[in-house]
Structure formats: C-alpha cells, structure tokens
C-alpha cells in the first residue's frame, strides 16, 4: 500500500515550483522587519561588514520558502568587489544546518545552493552614469532574460564607489551645471523601479565623517555619520512628498569596535576572543522615530542577533 504513494526527494520538494505568494518580511533582530518597497541604507566605515550584512539579506531572498527564504530573484549592482565565493559560503551556512535536520547528504545542500545562485543577477558598472543606465534598463533585462522571475531585492554595493571622481568632475564645472547629476539619475531610476516592481532596495554607503552627538536621539551612541553624498536622502528626515524621490525607510549604522591600545608587556596581552574579533554592532533607525534598535552581526559565522 505504501509503495503506491508518490514520493519525491528532499531536494525536489525544496526546489519545486509552488503557487506564487508575496514574500514574508525580512526579520531584523530587535527591530521588526523589512517589507516589500522598503529602502534600507547600510552605512559604516571600511571593514565594518556592510557587504557581509548584504550577503545575509541576499541569501534570505534566494533561499527556498520551505527553508525560510523568499525564493525570489535578487539583483546586485556591484561597484567595488562583490565576492561570489564568499557569498556562496554565506549561502551554504544557511542551507547546511537546515539539511542536517533532515539527516540528508551535504551534497543536497551544495546542489540547492547552485540552484539558488541562479536567482542572483550581478551587474558591474564602472561609473555612476553606467549605474544609472543599468538600473533604467533593468525592466528590459528582466523581460528578456528572466521573464518568469520576480525581482524582490535590488542592491547597490556601494553607492559611494564613484564619489571621488564624481566630486572632481563637479568641481571642474564653473559655474555648476543645473542639470541632474549622475547620482540623481541613479536615485530616480531606483525609485522608478521601486514604484513598478516594489522590491526591497538596499544601498551600502561609506562613513567618512562622524556626526555631532547632539544631532541624534538621546539614546543614540556616538557612532552615527554625516551624509557625504549630494542629493542622497538625508537621515534623520521626513519621507519626501515627491513620488519620484527615493524615500529612505530604514538606516543601519555598522560599528566595528576598536581593539583598545595595550601598553604593557606584549607577552601579557590578554587578547580578545574569536567572537569579539568578528562581531559588529548595528544600530537601526527609521524616519520620524526616536527609537534606536541594536543588533550584532558575527561576520565569521554569518549570524545576526
């Protein structure tokens, strides 16, 4: 009797096409979640884990729904150094524990990772103008190359990559041009795609100058940074009333704790634990709210807490 019951492998079950449904929110520890249409800026100094945190969001997007993901397509505009091998390791770190609960071979996790990676599309523009053009052409690319896929996440890593050449070009214009800047075209293109496709938009950004402590909420630690990009949505600030302006709905500041100086005998240096060495603190804010949420990201184990 049992032989007459149809069966399928775990891999087939996890990768089978199901009835389309809106993706669930992406949880952010201690601070609610990200929903379709939200725009998140991740700001932090070099080495603070901005791209690593982006990897976690991307993995959530392309992982099968049966394993807690969205099972949707993601698009990354890589302007600096997106490491696909590192991202694959992050992806496997989410898949292998899930497969171990089913007591199946790790080869199944490897195979599922390859299937999920097909949902990730990466573009590598070499200037802000190319970045804007690529985003404007994203609907045409989707229609031609991925007509059956839903793009649930669009990321730019990093929006600051062309800051210095763009600034140099702007300073050569005397008087300043009244036409839209390349960055304004990028923001307009992102908002246009957001209005038509409603993805989560994630933008990583440099942190160059510390903000005044008095500018933040009373509970905020002194690790927030000024916005150096012209035309970029300011934070904290109100949501723009112009529908063609890109709103910033969430802002994460990443803070990598510095190792305190040690002036004693090197042989007596107490050292730091592996967990402390790879742990980054994130502070999350939203416009119109004085609340500051905090969480930690272990960039060694790819966990957010």
Query: Residues 196-211: pLDDT tens digits?
Result: 999 999 999 998 888 7
- The residue assigned the tokens 């272990």 is 298
Q: How far apart are CA 231 and CA 242, in angstroms?
A: 14
pLDDT digits (tens, 9 = 90+) for 213-225: 544 444 445 478 8
pLDDT digits (tens, 9 = 90+) for 37-56: 999 999 998 888 899 999 99
Q: pLDDT category, 270, cuts 50, 70, 90?
A: very low
pLDDT at 89: 92
Better pLDDT: 61 or 221: 61
pLDDT at 173: 73
pLDDT at 257: 63
pLDDT at 94: 84
Question: Which token pair is 185?
Answer: 């075209």
pLDDT digits (tens, 9 = 90+) for 122-178: 999 999 999 999 999 999 999 999 999 999 999 999 999 999 999 888 888 766 666
Q: What is the CATH number of domain 23-257+272-304?
A: 3.40.50.300
pLDDT at 17: 42
Give the chain as a 3 state SS string.
Answer: CHHHCCCCCHHHHHHCCCCCCCCCCEECCCCCEECCCCEEEEEECCCCCHHHHHHHHHHHHHCCHHHCCCCCEEEEEECCCCCHHHHHHHHHHHHHHHHHHCCCCHHHHHHHHHHHHCCEEEECCCCHHHHHHHHHCHHHHHHHHCCCCCEEEEEEECCCCCHHHHHHHHHHCCCCCCCCCHHHHHHHHHHHHHHHHCCEEEEEEECCCECCHHHCCCCCCCCCECCCCCCCCCCCCCCCCCCCCCCCCEEEEEECCCCCCCCCCHHHCCCCCHHHHCEEEEEEECCCCCCCEEEEEECCCCEEC
Q: What is the residue-averaged pLDDT of the chain? A: 79
CA distances from 214 to 45, 83, 210, 211, 217 (A): 21, 38, 12, 8, 8
When pLDDT is averaged across residues 61-65 and rounded to a whole number, the result is 93
When pLDDT is averaged across residues 15-21 and rounded to a whole number, the result is 46
Better pLDDT: 100 or 290: 290
192 contact partners, CB below 8 Å, separation of at least 6: 136, 244
pLDDT at 259: 52
Q: Is the model's pLDDT at 118 over the cut of 70?
A: yes
When pLDDT is averaged across residues 51-79 and rounded to a whole number, the result is 93
When pLDDT is averaged across residues 107-116 and rounded to a whole number, the result is 88
């Amino acid at each position: 009797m049992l032989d007459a019951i149809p069966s399928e492998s775990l891999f087939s079950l996890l990768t089978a096409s199901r009835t389309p449904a809106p993706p669930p929110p992406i949880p952010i520890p201690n601070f609610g979640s990200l929903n379709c249409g939200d725009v998140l800026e991740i700001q932090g100094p070099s080495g603070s884990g901005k791209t690593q945190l982006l990897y976690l969001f991307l993995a959530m997007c392309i992982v099968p729904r049966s394993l807690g993901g969205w099972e949707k397509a993601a698009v990354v505009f890589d302007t600096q150094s997106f490491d696909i091998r590192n991202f694959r390791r992050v992806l496997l770190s989410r898949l292998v524990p899930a497969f171990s609960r089913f007591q199946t071979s790790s080869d199944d996790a490897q195979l599922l990772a390859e299937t999920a990676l097909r949902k990730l599309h990466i573009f590598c523009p070499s200037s802000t103008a190319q970045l804007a053009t690529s985003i404007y052409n994203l609907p045409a690319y989707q229609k031609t190359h991925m007509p059956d896929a839903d793009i649930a996440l669009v990321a730019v890593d990093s929006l600051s990559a062309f800051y210095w050449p763009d600034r140099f070009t702007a300073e050569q214009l005397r008087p300043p041009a009244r036409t839209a800047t390349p960055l304004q075209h990028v923001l307009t293109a992102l908002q246009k795609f957001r209005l038509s496709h409603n993805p989560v938009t994630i933008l990583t950004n440099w942190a160059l100058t510390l903000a005044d402590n008095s500018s933040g909420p009373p509970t905020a630690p002194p690790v927030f940074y000024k916005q150096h990009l012209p035309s970029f949505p300011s934070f904290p600030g109100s949501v723009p009333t112009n529908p063609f302006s890109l709103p910033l709905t969430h802002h994460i500041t990443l803070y990598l704790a510095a190792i305190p100086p040690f002036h004693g005998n090197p042989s007596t240096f107490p050292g730091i634990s592996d967990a402390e060495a790879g742990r980054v603190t994130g502070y999350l804010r939203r416009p119109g709210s004085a609340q500051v949420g905090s969480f930690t990201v272990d960039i060694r184990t790819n966990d957010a807490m």
